[in-house]
Structure 1
Amino acid sequence: MQHSAVGSCADVRLNNGEMMPSMALGTAQAKGDLLQTAVEYALDIGYRHIDTARVYDNEADIGKVLGKQIGSGKIKRNNLFVTTKLPLYHMGEKDVKLSVQETLGLLQLEYLDLVLVHVPWACKQLHNIPPGQMLTDANFASLDFVATWHALEVVVREGLVRSIGLSNFTQQQIERIWENAEIKPANLQLECHVYLQQPALRSYCQQRGIVVTGYCPLGSPGRADKYRREDDPDLLNDPVVRDIAKQLGRTPAQIVLRFLMEINVIPLPKSVHPDRISENLQAVDVTLGNVEMDRLRALNRNRRFMRFEWFKNHPEYFENDDF
């Protein structure tokens, strides 16, 4: 089936000269045939940036689509940008290269465009620990993530990875990496949306030339129950968002995605529904004026949807810091 492109994503230049498309398809909490169909559809209509992670357990599903699309010549590898994340149980110096090689096999790629350290909280293998359960000292791996970073620098030099970055790191933690890095972080991925705009951390990244990508840009309406609280607000039904959407003839999702792009955050909306995948991509064509931007900025309430509360006992967890 042929699909026509619905938008055109401009590229953002990373501090190492590599180019990253300004909209990505997020894939957290998705897998199997449904995800494969979604990724294929997204690529068909113009997405060129796919965001995944080892802990999502879906790299093989994505790899089936990428292998088919690249192998058939439908998409050229150099026109595709794939981000994945080093899992918290592969942060040891001896584990990093092996983990990257395993991911390359799963994704059916010869190199990765971007690998992020998923979290600063190194742990032992977690397969038998249910997500959301409070972790204890027995689960924590004793290592410095600066050593993890140096191991990532090695795989960049060997050509397995083009760019490296961080995810869910605080400013203090990023600075520790920055001061000790030969290859500087190119990207920081964090939770970011109109209710959690993170101006201080974004400003720091801008000063360092670190491009910011934002997960949960729509407020993660499809997140699992274990990540929910009864008092969580519904971002897409916020009266201000809906009013702006109505005035501009757009959808609430398109408004909040475009807002992030306007504040120099690359959004990572996740969906497996073709109509929403298409709708999200059309955010690149939305125009927000100063009045709309001011109204949306005023919605910031430092409200986080993904709290990682089961890491609160970890020595690197900073509950009150932005990450």
Structure 2
Amino acid sequence: MASTTFLTLPSGRKMPQLGIGTWLSPAGIVQDALEVAVKHGFRHIDCAYFYGNEEAVGEGLHNVLKKGLAKREDLFIVSKLWNSFHDPKDVKPALMETLKLLKLDYLDLYLMHSPMGIKNVKGDLLPQKDGQVIFSDVDYVDTWKAMEKLVEEGLVKSIGVANFNPQQLDRLYAHAKICPDVVQAERHPYLTQCEFLEYVKKKGIAWVCISPLSSPESPFWKESPHPKNAMEDPVVKAVAKKHGRSPAQILIRFNLQCGLAAVPKSQNPKHIEENAKVFDFCLDEEDLKKLAALNCGARAVPWDLLGMGKHKYYPFCKKE
């Protein structure tokens, strides 16, 4: 079973260090995957409205609770405010829709999915004109202030951000009444983000690593010249052989050992069980150096498709 190791958030709340992701987990499969995950000790569940599967995730969570596999208070359930709903008047309705889909009364953590607002067009989460996403001019600071009210109303326990850079976080801190508990960002040996890691640790924010396995299923890799599957990397496989572990376990451990949280995604029951067993071994300094040396700035989710790279709040450098 997964360890009950927790990270302490700036607010003092506790978050399970290991979670399960739901991106690219389709309805009809994600329900069973969640049951398997909870049976093997996973308590941190990462969701997002944009993933398009929150209704199915809600069914899975309902089954978990109905079968007594876990109590609601023992689960740490996360969702994300999509870019279309950055206007302060849209923030609470977006959350209420997510709560309805997930069959919940509250979230443990609600994240702003990115700092980039886009036009709110009913039924279209990526409205486009001439092949480019239509932006909105909403300031993410105003969005954050609306998210703070959700905490005050008891609808979410904690709030945080995803896919922000240090400068954007600094600006948020300068205006925030409630500071972020969590920053969620991609991290794996192909994208180590050393400077950002130093920043996050200095601030004392909890980092949840998305795509810790390098997300080989990501549809965006086709746009990248970089390798897409770190689990097939010879260095990763060599470290795995040394420890008698799977490449996935090595990649998860790579982040956990840095004091970060990680939310690997799998639909395979065997892999889910395997991914839970990452707390009974350690990588040595030589292992960590070899894995970190694979860094090439490769993003599974670059965010600059459909013209998003032109957004005034686009968070990433073109060269990393």
TM-score bucket of the superposed structures, by smaller chain = over 0.9
Which letter maps to 1:313? K
- Aligned partner of residue 32 in structure 1, secondary structure: coil
CA distance in 1, matches of 2:274, 2:26: 21
Which letter maps to 1:109? L
Q: 1:83 Cα shift?
A: 0.7
Residue number in structure 2 paired with 1:207: 202
Equivalence map 1:30-179=2 (5 Å): 30-125=25-120, 127-128=123-124, 136=132, 139-179=134-174
Q: Provide closer, same or farther for how the CA distance between residues 253 and 136 of structure 1 changes in structure 2, counting only shifts above 3 A.
A: same
Q: 1:46 Cα shift?
A: 0.9
Residue number in structure 1 paired with 2:217: 222
8 Å Cα contact 2:2/2:18 also seen in 1:
no
CA distance in 1, matches of 2:89, 2:126: 26
Which deviates more from structure 2 when the two are superposed, residues 65-74 or residues 169-178?
65-74
8 Å Cα contact 1:118/1:167 also seen in 2:
yes
8 Å Cα contact 1:55/1:87 also seen in 2:
yes
CA distance in 2, matches of 1:16, 1:322: 34
Query: Can you list the C-alpha shifts for 1:205-236, whole angstroms capped at 9, x where unaligned?
Result: 11111100111111111222x44246331311
8 Å Cα contact 1:149/1:181 also seen in 2:
yes
- Which segments of 5 or more consecutive residues in structure 2 lack a partner in the other structure? none
In the superposition, the TM-score normalised over structure 1's length comes to 0.92
Residue number in structure 1 paired with 2:254: 259
Which letter maps to 2:79? T
Residue number in structure 2 paired with 1:320: 317
CA distance in 1, matches of 2:130, 2:35: 37
Query: Can you list the C-alpha shifts for 1:15-34, whole angstroms capped at 9, x where unaligned?
Result: 10111111111110112111
RMSD: 2.1
Which letter maps to 2:317? N
Which letter maps to 2:182? N
CA distance in 2, matches of 1:302, 1:285: 30
Which letter maps to 1:69? V
Equivalence map 1:251-290=2 (5 Å): 251-290=246-285
- Aligned partner of residue 254 in structure 2, secondary structure: helix
CA distance in 1, matches of 2:71, 2:27: 24
Q: Does residue 181 of the first structure (1) align with residue 180 of the second (2)?
A: no
Residue number in structure 2 paired with 1:3: none
CA distance in 2, matches of 1:7, 1:128: 38
CA distance in 1, matches of 2:146, 2:130: 29
Residue number in structure 1 paired with 2:226: 232
- Aligned partner of residue 294 in structure 1, secondary structure: helix
Q: 1:316 Cα shift?
A: 1.0
8 Å Cα contact 2:224/2:298 also seen in 1:
no
Identity of aligned residues (%): 36
Q: Provide closer, same or farther for how the CA distance between residues 241 and 66 of structure 1 changes in structure 2, counting only shifts above 3 A.
A: same
Aligned length: 316
Query: Can you list the C-alpha shifts for 1:5-49, whole angstroms capped at 9, x where unaligned?
Result: x33130111010111111111110112111111111111111101
CA distance in 1, matches of 2:272, 2:255: 17
In the superposition, the TM-score normalised over structure 2's length comes to 0.93
Q: Provide closer, same or farther for how the CA distance between residues 105 and 255 of structure 1 changes in structure 2, counting only shifts above 3 A.
A: same
- Which segments of 5 or more consecutive residues in structure 1 lack a partner in the other structure? 1-5
Q: 1:256 Cα shift?
A: 1.1
Which letter maps to 1:84? S
Q: Provide closer, same or farther for how the CA distance between residues 132 and 59 of structure 1 changes in structure 2, counting only shifts above 3 A.
A: same
CA distance in 1, matches of 2:175, 2:268: 42
Residue number in structure 1 paired with 2:296: 301
CA distance in 2, matches of 1:14, 1:235: 29
